Amino acid sequence: MNRVASPPILRSRAFDLVILSGVVLGLWQLAHLWGGDVAMTTPLGTLRHTVQTLASAEFWPHAGATLGAFLVALLLAAGAGVLAGALLGYHRLSGEVAEPVLVAVYSIPKVTLYPIILLFFGIGIRAEVAFGALHGVIPITLFTMNAVRNINPVFIKTGRILRLSPWALLRSVLLPATLPEVFTGLRVGFALTLIGTLLSEMFGSRRGLGFMLMNAIGLHNMDVIMSLTFMLVAFAGSANAALLVVDHRLHRRA
């Protein structure tokens, strides 16, 4: 790393991250001392087994199934959420009618709805996609709605005065004005969709990482449980960190 180029604040933030990781690893090792091999594997053992799993043939079809279902669900949630949010933000009255309902639905435990999803879609990838999308779509809708509502009217008026075509208005005024908030919604939606997809695999599925986890509980295979947990946390954490960097950059520019 080029030490001259990185500002002091960045260097100290990296230092903070090192301290944080060190403390977490230390606590993990201590917990292992207390709980023993029955309860969990050590950080080093987990890492070793994670590498083994990544090299094994049976892991990839499951990981592919989860990733596939997750991506389709995320696409659906993002498409439907941005579209619905834009309409509700544009048409004030519909937005006012819908907002409390959306907030209420957002706060109910959606896991309880999973059996209904299963009855409608049957066990399989369609239910996983539907459940994942159900988790992600509401925050994306709410954030997009607020973004569209809060566009400064002066921007739109200026666009009209400059006689921009509707397409040009959308591209050079509306999209840049709403992008930061919409992106925050997508970031939250990303995390929730992943949770929804994994939950549906844990509850009723024959494939995917959630199924592998449940299978490992049945077999009391601590190595698999710990390495899968580790991988999922690492994936979700680093994806979120990357999205957060983009998010901050967009908000600072706006």
Partner 1 sequence: MRLATRLRIGVLVATVALVEGLCRAGVIGAFTMIPPSEMALSLWRLLRAGQVQADMRRTLTAVGIAVGSSIVVGIVAGAVVHALPRLRRTIDPLLAAYYSVPVFVFYPMFIVIFGLNDIPKVMIGFLYAVAVMIINTLNGLDRVAPVLLKTARVLRMSRAATALRVVLPCAAPYLFTGIKLAIAYSFIGVVGSEFILSSGGLGYQIGFAYHDFNNPTMYALILFILSFVLVVNMTLHAWEKALMARRGLR
In angstroms, give the least distance from the CB of 157 to partner 1. Answer: 26
Instruction: Tell me which long-range contacts 223-230 makes (C-beta under 8 A, separation of at least 24).
Output: 223/41, 223/45, 223/46, 223/49, 224/49, 224/53, 226/40, 226/41, 226/45, 226/46, 226/49, 227/41, 227/46, 227/49, 227/50, 227/52, 227/53, 228/53, 230/46, 230/47, 230/50
Kindly write out the interface string for residues 20-39 of this chain, putting x where it contacts partner 1 by CB under 8 A and - elsewhere: x--------------x--xx
Residues 32-71 that bind partner 1 (CB under 8 A): 35, 38-40
Q: How far is the CB of 35 from partner 1 (least distance, A)?
A: 6
Q: Does 216 bind partner 1 (CB under 8 A)?
A: yes
Smallest gap from residue 45 Cβ to partner 1 (A): 14
| Contact of 189 with 81, CB cutoff 8 Å | yes
Q: Which residue has the tokens 């049945």?
A: 218
Rounded Cα gap, residues 73 and 115, in angstroms: 18
Residue 22 identity (one-letter amino acid)? G
84 binds partner 1 (CB under 8 A): no
Q: Is 165 in the site for partner 1 (CB under 8 A)?
A: no
Stretch that binds partner 1, among 49-57, 60-68, 98-106, 141-149 (CB under 8 A): 98-106
Residues 6+ apart with CB under 8 A from 128: 69, 73, 197, 200, 201, 205, 208
| 226 interacts with partner 1 by CB under 8 A | yes
Nearest to 152 by CA among 179, 185, 183, 177: 177
Provide the minimum distance between the beta carbon of 36 and partner 1 in the complex, in angstroms, as a whole number.
10
Among 30, 162, 237, 254, binds partner 1 (CB under 8 A): 237
By the criterion CB under 8 A, which residues form the site for partner 1? 13, 16-17, 19-20, 35, 38-40, 93, 96-98, 100-101, 104, 107-116, 118-120, 190-191, 194-195, 198-199, 202-203, 213-214, 216-217, 220, 222, 225-226, 228-229, 232-233, 236-237, 239-241, 244
